[in-house]
Structure 1
Amino acid sequence: MILFENSLISLDYNPSTDILEVGYPDLHDYLLPEIKHSINILIDKVKHYDVKRILLDSSKTVISVGSEESRQIAVYLAAGLVTTRVQKVARLQSPSYAVEQSAEGNIQHIKESQQLPFLLQNFTSKAVAIDWLQVLVD
């Protein structure tokens, strides 16, 4: 069921698997304030529906901002998720080498600067990511 959708993100929740599928937005300078607003909506929906598993789809993401702006958005998202009861985040990788280099740097920064209370793993296959998300966390 679609919980929210705008021109930047779509939040598609499956209550039977407790997986929220999120299309990671394109990152352009002029969209950054709206992206933060959309992340706030995402966090509110995760809390409201008590979502434990998120599939973050970066497979179509386009980045035209610098590494600092990209990192700010990633840190903002991670900081929001820390305030929820999310247990697992599976990230579908982009086929773009540049997007993946940026994402890897951001993930490393987040893991070093924040204590993440959830598991975070990258995948190239949506099916494998969903299988991983469905394995219960001890």
Structure 2
Amino acid sequence: MVLFENSIIKLVYEPATDVLEVTYPDLHDYLLPEIKHSISILADHVKSFDVKRLLLDSSRTSVSVGEEESKAISTFLAAELMKTRLQKLARLQSASPAIESSAEKNITHIKQAGMLPFQLQNFESKPEALKWLISNI
């Protein structure tokens, strides 16, 4: 069921598996304030529905911001999700090596900052990600 949708994100929740799916937004300078607001909405829905499993689809994300802006958005996302009871986050990787390189740097930064109280794994396919998310239910 669709919990929320705007021009930035769409939240699709599957109650039977407790998986919330969201497409990671395109990162453009002019969208950053709206992206932060949408991330807050995402975190509010994770809290409200007590979601334990999140599928973050970055497979089609485009990025036109610098590394600092990208890191700031990733850090903000992690900080918002820390306020929830999320247990697992599966991230679908981008086909772009440049985007993946930036994402890996951001994930390393977030881990070093101690902002990952939940499990995080990257996947190349959605079925693989979903299998991991719903394992050990």
**Both proteins in one fold, TM over 0.5:** yes
Other structure's SS at 1:120 match: strand
Number of residue pairs aligned between Structure 1 and Structure 2: 137
Partner residue, 1:122? 122
Residue type of the alignment partner of 1:76:
F
Cα drift, residue 24 of structure 1: 0.1
Residue type of the alignment partner of 1:23:
T
The answer for unaligned runs of 5 or more in structure 2 is none
Partner residue, 1:37? 37
Q: Quick one: percent identity of the two aligned structures?
A: 65
Residue type of the alignment partner of 2:67:
S
Cα drift, residue 116 of structure 1: 1.6
Partner residue, 2:90? 90
Partner residue, 1:54? 54
Runs of 4+ more than 3 Å apart:
none
Other structure's SS at 1:54 match: strand
Other structure's SS at 1:122 match: strand
Residue type of the alignment partner of 1:48:
S
Partner residue, 1:72? 72
Q: Distance in 1 between matches of 2:100 and 2:115?
A: 22
- Could you tell me the TM-score, scaled by structure 1's length? 0.97
Partner residue, 2:6? 6
Other structure's SS at 1:111 match: helix
Could you list the per-position Cα deviations for residues 92-113 of structure 1 after superposition, in whole angstroms to 9, with x for gaps in the alignment? 0000111101100000000001
Cα drift, residue 115 of structure 1: 4.0
Residue type of the alignment partner of 1:98:
A
Other structure's SS at 1:4 match: strand
Other structure's SS at 2:12 match: strand
Residue type of the alignment partner of 2:81:
L
Contact 2:90 2:121 in 1 (8 A): yes
Could you list the per-position Cα deviations for residues 59-93 of structure 1 after superposition, in whole angstroms to 9, with x for gaps in the alignment? 00000000000000000000011110000000000
Other structure's SS at 2:136 match: coil
Cα drift, residue 136 of structure 1: 2.1
Cα drift, residue 14 of structure 1: 0.2
